[in-house]
Amino acid sequence: METIVRQQVYTDRLQQVLDHDTFNLVYTMYQGALYKKFMFLLNFPETVEDILQDVFLKTWQLRDRINTEKSLKHFLFQIGRNLIIDHYRKQKRKQGFTLVYRNFMNAVDQIDEECIFHEDKFSKLEGIINKLPPRRKQVFELCKFERRSYEEVSELLHISPSTISDHIVKAMQFIKVNWN
């Protein structure tokens, strides 16, 4: 009975405005369920806690635009879903850079991996890439780090795919020459 009364009070208050007290009630009601769902999707407690905090922060920021006719639970899960997708996209970009680095290292077999620490190689590669002309560097980063297709980069930068290819070839040559 108490749950039904609490739910009715919650619904009545939500239909007015999501004020501080109502927000605390929403947090109390949904925090546990959201945590379990996000933990299932991510399996990293620290990341789940960060995303959960961002969900409620975004809910507070958008409280004036919340449609009370629709499910608040769905609204919270949707925000969380979008934040998790963003998290995985960031991870993919980081992995993309690592993949490019690994492929580059396979192409340049001349370096003795035991002599130089992994971080030194990475920073050296980064330093060489930073020496590229600005446009070539931009094309290289979009194609290799963000893993965008030549067509996507072509449309984004308003240059032809053959120019993109030329930039990539010259960037790889520059990196190989400057590596030694």
Per-residue pLDDT of the chain (180 residues), as tens digits, is 445 444 544 444 444 456 778 878 888 888 888 888 888 777 788 988 998 999 888 888 887 777 666 677 788 888 888 888 888 888 777 777 776 666 665 655 444 444 445 556 777 888 888 999 999 999 998 888 888 899 999 999 999 999 999 999 999 999 888 887
Query: Which residues lie closer than 8 Å to 63 by C-beta, 6 or more apart?
Result: 17, 18, 23
pTM: 0.46
CA distance 61 to 54: 10
The CATH class that applies to domain 2-87 reads mainly alpha
Contact assessment for residue 46 and residue 59, using Cβ atoms and an 8 Å cutoff:
no
Query: What CATH number labels 108-179?
Result: 1.10.10.10
Q: How far apart are the first and last CA of the chain?
A: 76
Here the tokens at position 37 are 């769902």
CA distance 154 to 54: 34
CA distance 121 to 24: 49
Which residue intervals of the chain bear CATH 1.10.1740.10? 2-87
